[in-house]
């Protein structure tokens, strides 16, 4: 059953709508590959509000968030860790990739997303993947 909040705060709704209109090149590429159930037949939403956070891409069916991070995320590691912990506590698996990874390692990124789309949800909240998804 899909998760729909009772009512989104107006500021979050407006910001999510604004962000949909100004995607990065990496986000545009990923959206092209995820939209219309192109990935394992599951539906993704872009710039999906969840609590006070906005997820780059979210699949409610698989409880999977895919985040693409630019250089600013190197300076906000604590924020990202707190955000990811909040999401994991709600049973949401978080995959993080750098924008650069999406643009230069597209196949590897998509293989990881596919693996998560075809595997069962996390058995318990609190488990997840590495900070940037493709740990080498």
pLDDT tens digits for 99-125?
999 999 999 999 999 999 998 866 554
Q: Could you tell me the residue range of the domain that residue 49 belongs to?
A: 10-118
Residue pair 39/117 in contact by the 8 Å Cβ criterion: yes
Residue 130 lies in a domain: no
Buried/exposed 52-67: b ≥16 CB within 10 Å, e otherwise: eebbbbbbbebbbbbb
Task: Indicate the burial class of 129 (C-beta count within 10 angstroms; 0-12, 13-18, 19 or more).
Answer: middle
CATH number of the domain at 74, please: 3.40.960.10
Residue 1 lies in a domain: no
CA 66 to chain centre: 2
Beta bridge partners of 95: 66
Task: Match 């990881």 to its residue by tokens.
Answer: 112
Residue 105 lies in a domain: yes
Residue pair 44/58 in contact by the 8 Å Cβ criterion: yes
How far, in Å, are 33, 76, 81, 84, 94 from residue 88 at the CA level? 25, 18, 10, 6, 7
pLDDT tens digits for 34-59?
999 999 999 999 989 898 888 999 99
Please indicate whether residue 75 or residue 97 has the higher confidence score (pLDDT).
97
Two tokens, residue 21: 């209109």
Number of independent structural domains in the chain = 1
The model's pTM is 0.75
């Amino acid at each position: 059953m899909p998760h729909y909040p009772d009512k989104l705060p107006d500021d979050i709704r407006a910001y999510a709508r604004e962000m949909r209109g100004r995607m990065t090149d990496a986000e545009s590429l990923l959206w092209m590959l995820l939209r219309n159930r192109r990935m394992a037949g599951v539906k993704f939403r872009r710039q999906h509000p969840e609590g006070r956070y906005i997820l780059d891409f979210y699949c409610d069916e698989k409880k999977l968030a895919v985040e693409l991070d630019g250089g600013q995320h190197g300076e906000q590691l604590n924020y990202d860790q707190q955000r990811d912990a909040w999401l994991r506590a709600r049973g949401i698996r978080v995959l993080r990739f750098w924008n650069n990874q999406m643009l230069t390692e597209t196949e590897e990124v998509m293989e990881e997303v596919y693996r998560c789309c075809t595997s069962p949800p996390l058995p318990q909240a609190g488990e997840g993947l590495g900070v940037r998804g493709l740990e080498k």
